Amino acid sequence: MAKNFKNFIGGAWVAPIAGEYYENRNPADWTDLVGRFPSSGPKDVDRAVRSALQGFARWRKTPAPARGDVLRHVGDLLTRRKEEIARAMTREMGKVLAETRGDVQEGIDTAYYAASEGRRLFGHTVPSELRDKFAMSVRRPIGVAGIITPFNFPMAIPTWKIFPALLCGNAVIFKPSADVPHTGTLLVECLLEAGLPPEVIQLTHGRGGAVGNAIVGHPKIPLISFTGSTETGAKLGEVCGRMHKRLSLEMGGKNAMIVMGDANLELALDGVLWGAFGTTGQRCTATSRLLLHRKIHDRFLRMLVDRVEKLRLGDGLLPTTDVGPMINKPALDNTADYVEIARGEGAQIVCGGRKATGGKLANGWFYRPTVVAGVKPGMRIEQEEVFGPVLAVLKFGTLEQAIRINNDVKYGLSSSLYTKDVHAAFRAVEDIDAGITYINAPTIGAEAHLPFGGVKETGNGHREGGWQVYDFFSETKTVYVDYSGRLQRAQIDTYEA
Ligand code: NAD
């Protein structure tokens, strides 16, 4: 009998108020039921908010270094439970174990970074323009933070948001993707075991349209941090704009790798295989376009197809698997539709191009790693995010042309250039419109202590990771202390001799 999992609300593991659950199944084998998880709704969110407000009143007064100590302990617990959590993650969302271990490691790195930030959380002290006056800025917590996350990094992305939110003194209501509720549950277990006061974290499982929507529209939740598709982000933006909420959006990508004629082709080949087919192409930073200089185009394409055909599809828990399943049937069908669209646009499917069925793959959502060649700028396969194991290949003549193609999409998350020419490398760093540019490395590989995020329709100007995310989760208060004993008027009584 599969277990009925619970929400964590009001300091206790509780059933959803309506008593409704949904099934979470293994995408590599849908006969494997991970568990039933709450289909929460607005009433559950309301309860969570009431509790979180109590948690906030207490937590905001806890000194930041002490908040950091709790997060350090969370890092220790994640380290201890790394293998167990990685296995649970692969089981519920499919990516191979090496990647789910990396996903947990990113959570660990983020925990230790947050812990050290507890002793930093800098404000500024600057000279006043008046005598005998002190001028500074300090950071304050904001309130209850609504955290809404996608399926593809079930540990890393929630920790990118939850740890800085907590470190800054906020309480959190966490809604993980309905496809990965188990990993979200394990994360909350670690937070509680580490000594976080229970009202400071609330976990509400369920569908975006129900519980996610209720979080975004709740008047007592002043800040929302969301990672997901650009379409969903746009809906959130409308509500948060109307309600004057602080909103951080991290959304879709259509990332390109550019390979110049002088590049180390073996290096670029390893890079594009990892970039395009890691996480079965379901990464916001996935390499979904490969721009090849005409001098090396045909040779590189042959090398690529040879390697892609050797990639082994299967259950991510098996050591023989290179590429796991897709997250669910709609994602699989969407990928298949895009390949048909590419065919219809006149591109050539040079390998893959169909679902993988039969044998050990019979009960999973598998799509063969696919390379589409002869793609032209402006085709839908070149412009739109597929979020599957499909790589579109284009040919270019000059770096300027490649950068133009790179930039001519609505997204701007990650980018990559392979070259030995330092001039080309710095030209690309300057001219590519993206939040991240890699030189001689694939489009994926973010490190927890650097800012992460995109431009154009990938984001709305905020960054996760590193030091910058702490700006999002804290409010600045400016403080003036006048010890002159008389009225001093700014801009008027200044610069007296
Ligand atoms: P999604 O937009 O379908 O869902 C993301 C989250 O939003 C889920 O928790 C979902 O339940 C919730 N949601 C859905 N509708 C909602 C609504 N109306 N109100 C409130 N919440 C709602 O995305 P997904 O399929 O889980 O993830 C894939 C997408 O995420 C891709 O577009 C990918 O590029 C993007 N992504 C971006 C980044 C980044 O940092 N830029 C990282 C990972 C994934």
Residue 421 burial by Cβ neighbours in a 10 Å radius (0-12, 13-18, 19+): middle
Question: pLDDT of the chain along its 497 residues, tens only?
Answer: 789 999 999 999 999 999 999 999 999 999 999 999 999 999 999 999 999 999 999 999 999 999 999 999 999 999 999 999 999 999 999 999 999 999 999 999 999 999 999 999 999 999 999 999 999 999 999 999 999 999 999 999 999 999 999 999 999 999 999 999 999 999 999 999 999 999 999 999 999 999 999 999 999 999 999 999 999 999 999 999 999 999 999 999 999 999 999 999 999 999 999 999 999 999 999 999 999 999 999 999 999 999 999 999 999 999 999 999 999 999 999 999 999 999 999 999 999 999 999 999 999 999 999 999 999 999 999 999 999 999 999 999 999 999 999 999 999 999 999 999 999 999 999 999 999 999 999 999 999 999 999 999 999 999 999 999 999 999 999 999 999 999 999 999 986 65
* Residue 2, pLDDT score: 85
Q: And the tokens for 90?
A: 């692969």
Which residues partner with 476 through β-bridges? 139
Long-range contacts of 74-77 (CB under 8 A, 24+ apart): 74/111, 74/163, 74/190, 74/191, 74/194, 74/196, 75/108, 75/111, 75/112, 75/115, 76/194, 77/190, 77/193, 77/194
179: CA distance to ligand 1 center in Å?
11
235: CA distance to ligand 1 center in Å?
11
Is there a contact between 418 and 271 (Cβ–Cβ < 8 Å)?
yes
Which residues partner with 396 through β-bridges? 293
Residue labelled with tokens 């030995």: 420
Instruction: Give the ligand 1 atom nearest the CA of 151.
Output: 26
Residue 363 burial by Cβ neighbours in a 10 Å radius (0-12, 13-18, 19+): middle
150: CA distance to ligand 1 center in Å?
4
Residue 74 burial by Cβ neighbours in a 10 Å radius (0-12, 13-18, 19+): buried
Residue nearest to atom 10 of ligand 1 (CA): 208
Is there a contact between 465 and 448 (Cβ–Cβ < 8 Å)?
yes
Pocket of ligand 1 (CB under 6 A): 148-153, 175, 177-178, 207-209, 212-213, 216, 227-229, 232, 235-236, 250-253, 284, 385, 387, 413, 454, 458
Is there a contact between 472 and 246 (Cβ–Cβ < 8 Å)?
yes
160: CA distance to ligand 1 center in Å?
15
* Residue 405, pLDDT score: 98
Neighbour tally for 427: CB within 10 Å: 16
Q: And the tokens for 493?
A: 């009584």
* Residue 496, pLDDT score: 61
Residue nearest to atom 43 of ligand 1 (CA): 284
Distance between CA atoms of residues 44 and 9, nearest Å = 8
Instruction: Give the ligand 1 atom nearest the CA of 252.
Output: 34
Neighbour tally for 108: CB within 10 Å: 20
* Residue 145, pLDDT score: 99
Angle at 40 between CA 218 and CA 158, to 5 degrees: 75
Amino acid letter, 70: V
| Best residue among 224, 227, 334 to mutate for probing ligand 1, ranked by most atoms within 8 Å of CB | 227
413: CA distance to ligand 1 center in Å?
15
Residue nearest to atom 9 of ligand 1 (CA): 177
Query: What are the b/e assignments for 385-398, b being 16+ CB within 10 Å?
Result: bbbbbbbbbbbbee
State the catalytic residues.
250, 284
Q: And the tokens for 359?
A: 């044998």
| Best residue among 232, 329, 464 to mutate for probing ligand 1, ranked by most atoms within 8 Å of CB | 232
388: CA distance to ligand 1 center in Å?
15
Angle at 302 between CA 316 and CA 281, to 5 degrees: 30
Instruction: Give the ligand 1 atom nearest the CA of 233.
Output: 2
